[in-house]
Amino acid sequence: MSETKLSIVDLTKRYAAGLDPAVDRLNMQVEEGHLVALLGPSGCGKTTTLRMVAGLMDPTAGSIVVDGKEITHTPVNKRGMGMVFQSYALFPHMNVEQNVAFGLQMRQTPKAEQKKRVAAALDMVQLGHLGKRQTRELSGGQQQRIALARALVVEPTLLLLDEPLSNLDAKLRETMRTEIRSIQQRTRATTLFVTHDQDEALDMADRIAVMNGGLIEQFGSPTDVYERPQTHFVANFIGQANFLDVTIISETGPAPVAGEASYKVDVEGLGGFGAVGAKGLTGAHELVIRPHRLKVTLTGEGHDALKGTIERVSYTGDALSVAIAVGERSFNAQLLTTSGDLPRRGDTAYLSWAPEDAYLLPAAAPGKAS
């Protein structure tokens, strides 16, 4: 078990009395060296949380502890963190080197060392040759890297990234994703990363905090939040999901995943199916099945298969999204394309899934259906 680097306890931010809090008694532990993504839709409180950690905003209540020291009310300039802003916030009146050296100057690092570290930081982001350039002459990706170098050169206790990739085009975003991740891993900088892009979070993060309405809905590894969503919101926000309202008939034994159980559930109108979930569930629950885990055939192979009609087909090159109507319900499925004939609208299709791909949400179902 690694050390806890950052610990957030009951952190609350209320912008004005009477308003709902933007961040509501939030708790989180971040391990040393981890990259944690704060993921959620806009207005979920992720940026507010980051700004409170950075010291740019005063919490209404709660505390922030870094390396065992409470810093809840330490001024921003005494926190020793490195922050990368969405707009990069490079100083327009300084050249690249001056930008990167700024934090070291504030720390009164000796000149010679400053020079060495600035050069090293620029090399790390592969922009060693652009030190004398004016920042406005740089491309978006280059500015992004300078901002990263500027934040990292001071060897921050925490690296804070506020939607750093949202101003880049799609291709560059992918490259920078890999690059930021690899730099983060090399420097072992504990990092908080705000994003609304689930792919970014899944790809880069060691842990993801899925936020909604000022609360953390789920905190876990990318596979956890994807494969074992704890709430409807998480399942819906990360990836795509088919939701089915089910009633548990019986627990049938252990599941392939340790600590989980297999269940027999009843879907109204469709019959009984196998599913997995936390131990000891009973009554009404929601079942989550990822679209690509659905098996679709046009020939009716296998028993138990549900017969349906293809309502909609959407072709994206390597994948095919299909909506299949089964009675009143509609299922979304994702297929890999093949060179042969592809299913078309109106075709009859047969639908099935493996019990271990059907996950029961632990919370009792409120009665939603998708």
Residues that bind other proteins (CB under 8 A): 54-56, 75-83, 85, 87, 89-93, 102-103, 106-107, 134, 150-151, 154, 160
CB closer to other proteins, 54 vs 194 = 54
Closest distance to other proteins from the beta carbon of 104 (Å): 9
Residue 195 or 230: the one with the smaller Cβ distance to other proteins is: 195
User: Which residues neighbour 133 within 8 Å (Cβ) at sequence distance 6 or greater?
Assistant: 95, 96
Q: List CB contacts of 321: < 8 A, sequence separation 6 or more.
A: 291, 312, 313, 314, 332, 333, 334
CB of 105 vs other proteins, minimal distance in Å = 8
Choose among 9, 22, 50: nearest CA to 215: 22
Q: How far is the CB of 101 from other proteins (least distance, A)?
A: 10
Closest to other proteins by CB, 5 vs 150, is 150
Residue 330, burial from CB neighbour count under 10 angstroms (0-12, 13-18, 19+): middle
Least distance between other proteins and beta carbon 283 (Å): 50
Contacts (Cβ under 8 Å, ≥6 apart) of 175: 141
d(CA 356, CA 343): 26
Nearer to other proteins, 27 or 87 (CB): 87
Minimal distance in Å, beta carbon 146 to other proteins?
A: 12
Q: Which is nearer to other proteins, 76 or 369 (CB)?
A: 76
Helix (H) or strand (E) holding 160: strand 159-162
Using the minimum distance from each CB to other proteins, give the nearer residue, 78 or 303.
78
156 contacts: CB under 8 Å, gap ≥ 6 = 80, 81, 82, 189
Considering the complex, what minimum distance in angstroms separates the CB of residue 94 from other proteins?
A: 9
How many helices (H) does the chain have, and how many strands (E)?
Answer: 8, 20
Report the residue count for the chain. Answer: 370
